[in-house]
A and B are shown apart, each in its own frame.
Chain A
Amino acid sequence: MGPSKVQGREAEAALVERCRRGEMGAFEELYGAYAGRLYNVACRLLGNPADAEDLVQEAFLQAHRKLDTFRGNAALGTWLHRLLVNLGLDYLRSRAGRTAHATAGMEDVNVVPFTRPETVAERIDLEHAIARLPDGSRAAFVLHDVEGLDHKEVAAVLGVSEGTSKSQLHKARLKLREMLRQ
């Protein structure tokens, strides 16, 4: 999933090594390669650009502090996504009390039998519906369907099994479908 600027594990390892040595230029390169993706994930995860900026900033600062723990057995992109998503979900949990209304009743959205077999494509307000998903399945959906990570990567980012990632994604899609049909 690494963008074109950082090709392959070897290039990644070299870049990480330079970052570890404290080269600002290397870290800027790392930022350039991943900031766009991480920022988009953050925007959709948190629902607003201001919080997203803070989240991306914190994720990169934390990435820098934790670079020593990056072992190279996961892709750098996955590792960065994982840092960001963990921080984001923590933030959402701590914000949960304050914004309980935003997701109130979401767990009650039932996957009803499909009585109106019409396509939702033309009445899509997807962005809005994504924001109303429960945090966990929103993360899975954003990573897989919006960002295009595969199930293995999503599972690694979320720290869950592939099966769980798949089922969270499926739940998310069914809820989105339900919301979009309303």
Chain B
Amino acid sequence: MTRATALFALLLTVATSAWAQTPPTPPRPPDAPQPPRPPRPPREGRDRDSRHEVTDHQVHKLAIGRNGVLDLANISGDVVIQSGGGDEAVVEVTLRGHGETPEAAKEQLGLIYVDVTKGASRAEVRVRYKEHERRGRRNYNASADYRVTAPPDTRVTVHSVSGDVQASRMKGELSIESVSGDVTIDSSTRVSTAKTVSGDVDLTGIASEGSLAASSVSGDVSARGLKASRLELSTVSGSVELHDVACDTAEIQSMSGDVQYIGAIGRQGRYELQSHSGNIIFAPGSGVGFDVEATSFSGDVRSELELKLRASDPDETWQGRRNRKRSIRGTFGDGSAVVELTTFSGDIIIRK
């Protein structure tokens, strides 16, 4: 299958499917531990019929300079990127054909090939399926794994349909998009995009000066040690959990998962955290003052930080009849940053 066909079909399947309404997950108490994530089933087309495997290992040495651009595309298989020295990117591709018999596996292997286009400072490496041979064929059982070592300042773009993508210790701009698979990035400085549809996005030790957009549809977006001027993070059914985070602007959204921001905020910064049925935990530990508006339609809102409250509604003051509140408007310290926390049915906690 071509990537275009795969994605096209994916949309079609979505459009044609019966969209039964499912009740939303009831909100979990904000302090409850995360349930363990069930292991993802093996991906279609990669792990079946693998009694026999035939591989073809190729090494492409691409002299693109220290600040070159590397554009990678894969359909099925994992991609691992690491920084290396020199001014040459080394792209090792292992093509794999699987089948019930060695012949079948070999036939599968024959269906894919690596397409390399190289310029002075730019190279594109794509794994393609041979159209004329796969015509009429519905199933393929071939994949390709990438192992890339590139000069640290290389700008790397990855598009993957099915497979995990991992990048480590890169300094050039990184943009990674996968459809089905995890995106994992660590110890890198200029991450601009990390997106997947069904998979997790995991960021560790990222110190990006620019803005960073990370998203999943069904997976979690999590970060430990994350600095950026602007963060745009979203998921639909997963959660967003940020530890040791620092940024000037954050727009963070989940639909049914929790949103957690633990870290520093900046003066004049703006932070919008939002979930529909998940809880929101906001812990701005840096001592910077902020003005907060926290609203839940049916959940509770509480603050462990001492806020100077503005009564938004005469009947609803902080010292009101109940300790349970649906909304808080108040100021901490000098109120220099702006914080908006919104959930429909979850709880909101502002932590010390």
Contact = CB atoms under 8 A, between A and B. Distances in A.
Interface in A90-116: 97-101
A126 B165 CA distance: 57
Interface in B73-129: none
B18 interface: yes
Residue with the greatest number of chain A CB neighbours at <10 A, chosen from B17, B18, B20, B21: B18
B13 to A, nearest CB: 12
Interface string B17-34: 111110000000000000
B162 to A, nearest CB: 26
B15 interface: yes
A54 to B, nearest CB: 16
B16 interface: yes
Q: Number of contact residues on A: which range applies?
A: under 10
A97 B17 contact: yes
Q: Number of contact residues on B: which range applies?
A: under 10
Contact of B15 (A97, A99, A100, A101): A97
A159 B18 CA distance: 29
A24 to B, nearest CB: 32
Interface residue SS majority, chain B: loop
A45 to B, nearest CB: 19
A99 B20 contact: yes
B17 to A, nearest CB: 7
A136 to B, nearest CB: 20
A100 B19 CA distance: 8
Contacts of B17: 97
Nearest to A98: B19
A100 B17 CA distance: 9
A147 B16 CA distance: 35
Interface in B1-51: 15-21
A48 to B, nearest CB: 11
Contacts of A100: 18
A150 to B, nearest CB: 37
A100 B20 CA distance: 8
A102 to B, nearest CB: 9
A46 B21 CA distance: 15
B16 A97 contact: yes
Contacts of B19: 97-99
Contacts of A99: 18-20
B21 A98 contact: yes
Contacts of B16: 97
Nearest to B15: A97
Contacts of A97: 15-19
A63 B226 CA distance: 56
B176 to A, nearest CB: 33
A91 to B, nearest CB: 14
A99 B18 CA distance: 6
A98 B19 CA distance: 4
B259 to A, nearest CB: 28
A98 B15 contact: no
B138 to A, nearest CB: 24
A98 B16 CA distance: 9
Nearest to B19: A98
A130 B18 CA distance: 21
Interface in A14-32: none
A64 to B, nearest CB: 31
Contacts of B21: 98
A11 to B, nearest CB: 44
A174 B18 CA distance: 27
A99 B20 CA distance: 6
A101 B19 CA distance: 9
A100 B21 CA distance: 11
A97 B17 CA distance: 7
A70 to B, nearest CB: 36
Contacts of A101: 18, 20
A97 B14 CA distance: 10
A78 to B, nearest CB: 34
B114 to A, nearest CB: 40
A175 B16 CA distance: 27
Contacts of B18: 97-101
Nearest to B17: A97
Nearest to A104: B18
A98 B15 CA distance: 10
Contacts of B15: 97
Interface of A: 97-101
15 contacts: A97-B15, A97-B16, A97-B17, A97-B18, A97-B19, A98-B18, A98-B19, A98-B20, A98-B21, A99-B18, A99-B19, A99-B20, A100-B18, A101-B18, A101-B20
Q: Which 10 A-B pairs have the closest CB atoms?
A: A98-B19, A100-B18, A101-B18, A97-B19, A101-B20, A97-B18, A98-B18, A98-B20, A97-B16, A98-B21
